[in-house]
């Protein structure tokens, strides 16, 4: 790679020339819950960040030519990447679960395989909104609780507080650990596999 | 009104994209892998030239956006131009585009094998 290219791409290693299928998994969670840490733990590259903006006409304003009547929503998110084999690359996105983020879900994350809701057990209520929205979007997900040293809650207690159905996997993790973060992703993909498999069984 | 940040200044975005908006560019997913089919040439718009340099190896739309420091929707428009001119090719993801369709179990199996081998 010449220097003009590395000025743009930094030290990021290039993908193989045979790479052809990009997949997405999203990690959603409240502020400071460990999203970027989890992406970093499993990514082949240092996490990158980018943003998306959406301009919407202001509501209840008559004169739409007035620039001030439009609002711009900006959502920043970070991501990492794992080359799974010669052709398949998995992109992991760490995304804030706050309200304005969901306006951009369809534009950014349609086609996502599934989501991990990362939860700090000291602030369980922070994840209610994200869980609601994933259910509404019909997006399969699992919940991973990150241990920040608060009081320990049993799986049943967390399930109850989140009103989480039995069929949705719930696991504990340490986002700083590569092995633990890998295990979270494997739990999600196993869950997706079960869903996909039984959906196919029931239609044949 | 919110103070515009570096990258969401409407005037700057208007200039970069020649005033067009998204519509025709929805084909580019965040993880569509883009491959340059020619070298940057003198006289090209600088963002187009940068994209061709970045895409000497397959690069996802979201990586290009991050490298250029531009919002994803603007990058999609720039990619639409280059694609229409035959200067890039796009490898689109082979996953269902709607949320209520589950991915193919074969793809999921590949993902599991890849993750276990990490
Ligand atoms: N004890 C403990 N600390 C963690 C864990 N995961 C992350 N942290 C720490 O928590 C802090 C926040 O982690 P981040 O990964 O930046 O969290 P984030 O969700 O990306 O935060 P925002 O993007 O700001 O919302 C950092 O100091 C991490 O080192 C964990 O599993 N256990
Ligand atoms: Mg973060």
ipTM reported for the complex, 2 dp: 0.90
- What's the whole-number mean pLDDT along residues A52-67? 60
Q: Distance from A23 to chain B by nearest Cα, in Å? A: 7
Number of domains within chain A: 1
Residues forming a β-bridge with A94 = A27, A78
| Torsion sign, CA atoms A183, A131, A89, B100 | positive
The pLDDT confidence band at residue A204, using thresholds 50, 70 and 90, is: low
HSE of A114 in the Cβ direction (CA atoms, 13 Å)? Answer: 26
What pLDDT is attached to residue A140?
A: 95
Q: Is the pLDDT of residue A171 over 60?
A: yes
Domain B10-117 class in CATH: mainly alpha
Please tell me the distance between residue A174's alpha carbon and the centre of ligand 1 in angstroms. Answer: 10
Chain B residue with CA closest to A199: the answer is: B102
Q: Where are the alpha helices (DSSP H) in chain B?
A: 10-17, 46-54, 61-68, 72-84, 105-116
Mean pLDDT for chain B overall: 83
pLDDT of residue B15: 58
Beta strands in A14-131 (DSSP E): 21-29, 48-57, 70-83, 88-96, 114-120
pLDDT tens digits, one per residue of B14-66: 555 655 554 445 589 999 999 999 999 999 999 999 999 999 999 999 999 99
Mean pLDDT for A8-15 is 94
CA A115/CA A100 separation, integer angstroms:
18
Strands of the A21-29 sheet, one edge to the other: A48-57, A70-83, A88-96, A21-29, A114-120, A141-146, A170-173
A197: domain range? 3-203
Mutate to test the pocket of ligand 1, among A29, A30, A37, A174 (most ligand atoms within 8 A of CB): A37
Shortest Cα distance from A97 to chain B (angstroms)?
Answer: 17
Closest CA to A74 of B65, B31, B97: B65
Atom 10, ligand 1: residue with shortest CA distance: A34
The CA radius of gyration of chain B, in Å to the nearest whole number, is 17
* pTM of the complete model: 0.89
Q: Give the CATH number for residue A126.
A: 3.40.50.300
Tokens of B76: 């999609």
The token pair that represents B53 in the structure block: 């340099």
Render the burial of B72-94: b for 16+ CB within 10 Å, e for the rest.
Answer: bbbbbbbbbbbbeeebbebbbbe
The backbone torsions φ and ψ at residue A156, rounded to the nearest 5 degrees and listed phi first, read -65, -40
Q: Inter-chain contact B100–A84, Cβ cutoff 8 Å?
A: no
Residue A180 Cβ inside 6 Å of ligand 1? The answer reads no
Asked if residue A28 has its Cβ within 6 Å of ligand 1, the reply is no
Q: What is the pLDDT of residue A152?
A: 85
Q: Where are the domains of chain B?
A: 10-117
SS3 A97: coil
**What's the gap in Å between A176 CA and the centre of ligand 1?**
8
Specify the DSSP class assigned to residue A73.
E
């Amino acid at each position: 790679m010449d220097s003009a290219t590395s000025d743009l791409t930094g030290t990021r290693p290039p993908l193989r020339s045979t790479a052809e299928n990009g997949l997405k998994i999203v990690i959603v969670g409240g502020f400071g819950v460990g999203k970027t840490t989890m992406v970093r733990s499993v990514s082949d590259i240092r996490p990158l960040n980018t943003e998306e903006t959406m301009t919407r006409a202001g509501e209840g304003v008559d004169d739409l030519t007035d620039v001030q009547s439009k609002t711009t929503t900006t959502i920043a998110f970070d991501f990492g990447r794992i080359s799974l084999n010669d052709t398949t690359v998995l992109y992991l996105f760490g995304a804030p679960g706050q309200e304005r983020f969901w306006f951009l879900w369809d534009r950014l994350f349609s086609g996502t395989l599934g989501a991990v809701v990362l939860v700090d057990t000291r602030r369980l209520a922070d994840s209610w909104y994200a869980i609601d929205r994933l259910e509404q979007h019909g997006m399969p997900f699992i919940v991973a609780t990150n241990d920040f040293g608060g009081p320990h809650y049993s799986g049943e207690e967390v399930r109850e507080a989140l009103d989480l159905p039995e069929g949705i996997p719930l696991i504990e993790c340490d986002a700083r650990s590569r092995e633990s973060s890998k295990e979270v992703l494997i739990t999600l993909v196993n869950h997706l596999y079960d869903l996909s498999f039984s959906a196919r069984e029931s239609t044949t | 009104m919110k103070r515009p940040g570096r990258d969401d200044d409407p005037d700057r975005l208007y200039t970069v994209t020649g005033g067009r908006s998204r519509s025709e560019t929805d084909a580019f997913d965040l993880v569509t892998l883009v491959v340059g089919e020619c070298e940057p040439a003198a006289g090209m718009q600088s963002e187009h030239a940068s994209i061709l340099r970045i895409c000497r190896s397959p690069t996802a739309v979201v990586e290009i956006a991050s490298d250029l420091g531009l919002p994803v929707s603007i990058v999609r428009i720039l990619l639409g131009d280059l694609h229409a001119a035959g200067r890039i090719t796009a490898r689109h993801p082979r996953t269902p585009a709607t949320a209520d369709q589950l991915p193919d179990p074969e793809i999921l199996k590949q993902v599991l094998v890849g993750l276990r081998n990490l």
